[in-house]
Chain A
């Protein structure tokens, strides 16, 4: 089966979870929670098969261009969600993981994969660097989304006449905790990704650092997260400030994602 076919099936299965989230917000009932998890597991298996198929079709680690990038990101987000589900049972993460996975795979289905076979892609550092970066993106996306939910929930509670969101969004504390853990994990991966990126740059271009837009954005994002972690470390609770910083930090990360996938193809940037 071609990789694209796997991806379409995956889209259908992730849609179950996305529909559940929509229903939950609208009706305040948990209608499909088990079915959605089962569909996510099946979707994840097919997604894995699709990515490995794409890998063998492309002949290099599939992380070139928008198609690969969003597909891989969705795969990691679902992986993170399923791991959290196994550890802690159903919780708030599904709220952001299902819609995010659905939208990302939808984009992957619409955009054809890039046909690029640069010999540089076969270097050892490329798959390692890209995987680490994407793990970081996935974790930081979760932090961003939970921060957003934190702000919405805080607004609901402050209003003193909470509406539907109040009931569906988890408690402030769990938004804060999940967001905080995700930042720690994401920051770790981001740091490692920057280090391996420097090494790859050295291998490909003969120099570690070249002051290009991508590197500067990475540095900016990294500094924002350092600030965020310090805030958390000092108070033990991130609160509103951490939520806002998580959102700003992710904006930098999203920009980084755009630089690397949409505007410049990876190898071009590497030269």
Chain B
């Protein structure tokens, strides 16, 4: 298994001239084959990222000509951001800021996004389960449904009046007055989004299942000899052995949750309704740029998001050494 936490030692590119002719040809050919990615990386990733940073120091409008003179405004956009209550506000009983909304929702959704696929993977690995390939296929299936279609399915099921979920609740005896309003209800919109999110567990549960199936059976036998029961052998054998897969999914989930915006865009039309609870940070960026056409402030928010994700990712990677087990590393 490759190790994301430790980058390999790299020779510097400056040493190429000293290479023998054979190695020079290898370098030319190799770089030739990599060139589509290198060009694409520069054109669609690296330069736009730098351009976004430069935009934060300018006052740009999308209507400006490509070569019209640039108006530098220094740190104005960053100062506006620092004072922007719609981003930072975290005081209770006032409309929350976009960053706080994103973090609050992320803290609710992240455990579900890790534990539900883990639970299903453990269930799929049970020796008592019949027809497990069928189950595996069907639990994965919603992942390949077009996003827009799955939003419509869930919007239908979660409809407060006609949706099946509330009809089931009524059948279970929940009084009509206290039924959840789901996506239209400020208290139920996050649970509604999280329920919808469970349909996206496909990749996470398949990778976790593959991880669990890859655990050598001798380890379980050894744990049994030591008197470990079902939970103890999961906690002491399965979990450490699949911790790299969990870590990979954790990073992907965190990065994904900070960029969360397509669901509120599709479910609540990007209005931030109900009660501003769904004005996620990335949705705010989208609206700042695409709706209000404010390029410079949109760029500032985008870079802020980038920095937040970078910091959180670095923090997570730095915790990895305490709980993520890399077999190759320990055996050295």
Q: Say if A and B assemble together.
A: no
